[in-house]
Amino acid sequence: METGDITQIKKLLLETAELLFSDSGYSGTSIRDIAKRAAVNVALVNYHFGSKENLYLTIFKRRFAAYETALATMDSREGAGKKLDAFLDIYGNFIDSHRNFHRLLSREITLLHHSSIKEVITAGTRKNYELVKKIIQDGIASGTFKNVNVDLVTLNIIAFVPRIFSGSPFITDIFEWQHSGLQDKEVVSIQLKEYFHSILSN
């Protein structure tokens, strides 16, 4: 690969590392593995990221930043019901489009070996949680939603949606995935909205 296009090389390295880390974990993936899979010199990995730990951290920062950018497209003028739908669309689509990252995220949440990664995950998850909580609270205040345990419903949304859209083995092992209807993301998206609205709506 040519070394001139730094942006493309960094993107390639990040996406290759994300895939390998999600498959083999942090300890099971070396800089050499990443360079070999990306078909670049090992020195390029060190040049762009300095260390495996910094490369790992950059993966998380990159994905959380992209997710925040996606969330910024939500219309703040919409009512609570439409905001919840918009959030579910963005959240589900982002997870479905970045399955390797969400497998990696699930692995890291379980282990939490890296304090710097924990800070990024905690900050990003807290923002997600506070956003959904605010939508539900606003919906209750306006009469769109009934009075519910806001924390419980918020946690349900934050934790459940990734299980469905990430293709989690937890789900695929329980159901006959190919016959469950869960592969049709458009249908699942509609049904998830109906499900959460059935919990919340007056």
175 pLDDT more than 70: no
Same domain, yes or no, for 107 and 145? yes
Same domain, yes or no, for 83 and 162? yes
Q: Are 48 and 59 in contact (CB under 8 A)?
A: no
Q: What is the pLDDT of residues 107-149, one digit of tens each?
A: 888 776 678 888 999 999 999 999 999 999 999 999 999 999 9
Structure tokens at 175: 């159901």
Q: How many domains does the chain have?
A: 2
Same domain, yes or no, for 35 and 69? no
Handedness of CA 66, 72, 73, 74 (dihedral sign): positive
Same domain, yes or no, for 35 and 71? no
Q: What is the pLDDT of residues 148-159, one digit of tens each?
A: 999 999 999 999
Q: For position 1, which CATH number holds?
A: 1.10.10.60
**Strand runs labelled E in 71-183:** none
Same domain, yes or no, for 190 and 112? yes
Cross-strand pairs, 201: 145
Q: What is the pLDDT of residues 55-108, one digit of tens each?
A: 999 999 999 999 999 999 998 888 999 999 999 999 999 999 999 999 899 888
The Cα–Cα gap between 147 and 137 comes to 9
Same domain, yes or no, for 27 and 65? no
Q: For position 73, which CATH number holds?
A: 1.10.357.10
Q: How far is CA 192 from CA 80, 88, 94, 195, 196, in A?
A: 16, 8, 15, 5, 6
Q: Which residues contact 79 (CB under 8 A, 6 or more apart)?
A: 139, 142, 144
Which position has the higher pLDDT, 47 or 107? 47
Q: Which of 10, 29, 50 is the last residue of a domain?
A: 50
Same domain, yes or no, for 89 and 181? yes
What range does the domain containing 23 cover? 1-50
- What is the model's pLDDT at position 6? 52
Q: Which residues contact 29 (CB under 8 A, 6 or more apart)?
A: 17, 20, 21, 23, 52
